[in-house]
Amino acid sequence: MTQATFFLVMFYIALLGLGKGISGASPLAAAAAPRPRDCPDKCGDITVPYPFGIGRGCSRPNFNLNCSEGVLLRGNNIQIESITLETAQIVAYLTSTYSCNAQGRRSRSQNMSFNLGSGLFLLSPADNVFTAIGCSLEARLNGRIGSANRYLTGCITTCTSVDLDDIGQEGAPCSGQGCCQASIAPGLSYVASRWGKDKQNNNPVPDNTCQYAFVAKKGWYNFSQSDLVGKNFANKLVKGTVPLVLDWAIRNGTCPSPQHNGNKDIPYGVCISTHSYCVNSSNGPGYFCNCSEGYVGNPYEGNGCKNINECEPSTWPKSIKYGNLFPCHGGKCRDVDGDYECNCNFGRRGDGKSDKGCEPVLSSAAVVVIDAPFYLAEGTISAIFISALLLLFVHMEHEKRKLSDRYNMNGGKLLKSIKIEIFKKEELDKITKNYSTIIGKGAFGEVYKGTTREYMQVAVKRSIAINKDRQKDFANEIQIQSQISHKYLVQLLGCCLETEVPMLVYEFVPRGSLYDVLHGKNGNMRRDPISLRARLDIAICSADALAYMHSQASQKILHGDVKSGNILLDDEFMPKVSDFGTSRLMSIEKDHTNWVIGDSSYIDPVYMKTGLLTEKSDVYSFGIVVLELITRKKARYDRNNSLPLNYIKASMEGATGQMYDTEILSSGEDVKCLGEVGLIALQCLEVDVDDRPTMTEVAEKIKRCKSRWLQSHWHGKTKAL
């Protein structure tokens, strides 16, 4: 055997060993098998992607569907409109409940109840809503979570008079006048709707009216007065069905540990395609698969995730419908596996992927001066080449000197002596993929998502500008921030000093801000369900973090921009207070500062008047956050209404109950608890700063409120949580 042959054999054996190692790390991979090529992948106009299939042996176990005359069915009663792999959802049609009245008697009716069976499908709590249409109606949705836990929710409608012209306007949201809506819980596999007359409403139900109740996709239904008359609404429906969204998952397993799952090129379970990864289901047990960033396709099939050629939009799959998703300004686009490069054209520099793009190295006047000798020498090629090399050399030396100067100016020598990681600019360019994924933007700058070489997700904050008078204090402030450690404060991991404005690297918090969870992100009305207990925990833990900043840290820190947008939530809805890095760090001897930039909807009016920020200014802003938690209203809502002013007014009129979020009201004890929390918020909003509690006192007050609320449930005064 020659030496070359020996090395080839050893290399092949090593590959076999690696393959066994990967399959050993993926215990469910053996269960994944591609469907035969002769299996149909469409039913009518509907695409049926694997793991779903039509016919024996064409799908994963329990994922089989039926195709009847171009109609895609699950069993006999679930008609499927579309299947989406990326979000693991289907849009289906199911029946609604209705009852009609004629001369005071029920004349026609149809009941809604459906059982989704084995648990493959669960009603999506984020994309569906329970809706009831009618007058003086008390609608209830019964259900079952899992195999034993019973579930009940509902809502009440009214009509201000028998005259149908006095009820809600055409296209109005369902707020109780003629129709109402209620959120649903995760984990529901069986539901049935029931109703009765609202006993608190003595108005008679008009003749020739109908009542409806159904679970449907959010945004699908807009109220119309005519829907109350006769069977107008029922006649709009196709076979008495309404569209709704069902979540699905591979229910017999979970994703591996974050260390394993961080490498998105290692197949796991039924995610058999290379460049795919596992995502834990947020609705019920199990997981589903996605293609890694830069790839698109079917992760459940071998080599199903294909590279996206970012440089050729004509080759993009139909699922990519974005206009300028992969920008390349002033450069040449080059596709690479899973990504793309945008190399600046000659004479330009910068980041072609950014909004600014590649910018000219020299000004127009400098180009004319340099070009003049070459025109005189009839454009000799050798002279141009030598000049280009000289320019390149001078530019590189200039860039090196500029990076070094910035490093020293931003306090690099001081920070080198402490335990904080200092990143090079080119490192952060790679970690953020040239700042391609923006996750936040505000008055201070932009925040980008990134992944380190150790597959750790981070948030990189790039500020727009920094006060030059404060630049000399930057290193001292970073040194103090790096020593702050509290489980409910976002941890500073490192910084980059080679840029004009230093960049900060923080731990990544996955769910986003409390503002987005409560009010929807970027104008999207989709909001996550969030329980009363979770909201109390968010308030308590956030208050603990601010109390630590005010009194327990080695150096007093004022936040200066407390708002729901600066409270981040992890996957378990636990908070992390962020953006205190933009706050003013103070010595123990000082009790105020006059440097702050905050959101005007949350700023303490005493600070606005005096220009002095104190810890009681943070208390005031936190009081508004507490009101957001219990009302689910923005600090300024419904065409510039002020939440704190309206709540104070409602408190004086004894009408605060009308402002609470109905999603977290299920008993009198809930109302009592919200009233106590609202009172704490009012104390934070006191005009006299001396009458406001400290953040430590705020945290303790809400803890006691939560304890009393939990005890009332444990003593059987209300239904189990």
Active-site positions? 561
Give the CB-side neighbour count of residue 214, counting CA atoms within 13 A: 25
- Residue 633 in 3-state DSSP? coil
CB contact at 8 A, 193 and 182: no
Name the residue with tokens 């994944």: 32
Q: Which two tokens stand for residue 159?
A: 């009509």
d(CA 483, CA 485): 6
* Long-range contacts formed by 107-114: CB under 8 A, 24+ apart: 108/210, 108/231, 110/234, 110/240, 111/192, 111/193, 112/191, 112/192, 112/193, 112/213, 112/214, 112/215, 113/190, 113/191, 113/192, 113/193, 114/77, 114/78, 114/190, 114/191, 114/192
d(CA 334, CA 311): 7
Name the residue with tokens 């208050």: 543
3-state DSSP: the chain helix, strand, coil percent, rounded to 5?
30, 25, 40
Give the CB-side neighbour count of residue 200, counting CA atoms within 13 A: 4
Distances (CA, A) of 58 to 27, 41, 162, 297: 22, 9, 57, 18
CB contact at 8 A, 484 and 581: no
Q: Which two tokens stand for residue 210?
A: 């109908």
Helical (H) or strand (E) element with 350: strand 348-351
Q: Which two tokens stand for residue 309?
A: 């050629």
Which residues are 141's β-sheet partners?
153, 193
Q: Which two tokens stand for residue 716?
A: 């059987």
Distances (CA, A) of 121 to 116, 285, 675: 6, 11, 38
Residues 6+ apart with CB under 8 A from 704: none
d(CA 504, CA 506): 7
Q: Which two tokens stand for residue 387?
A: 């000049």
Residues 6+ apart with CB under 8 A from 432: 448, 449, 450, 460
User: C-alpha 507: how far from its chain's center?
Assistant: 16
Q: What is the DSSP string of 499-530?
A: SSS-EEEEE--TTEEHHHHHH-STT-------
DSSP H helical ranges for 421-523: 425-431, 468-471, 474-483, 514-519
Cis peptide before 36 (omega within 30 of 0): no
Helical (H) or strand (E) element with 6: helix 3-25
d(CA 208, CA 191): 28
Select from 128, 105, 100, 78 the least CA-distant residue to 212: 100
Name the residue with tokens 């006192």: 697
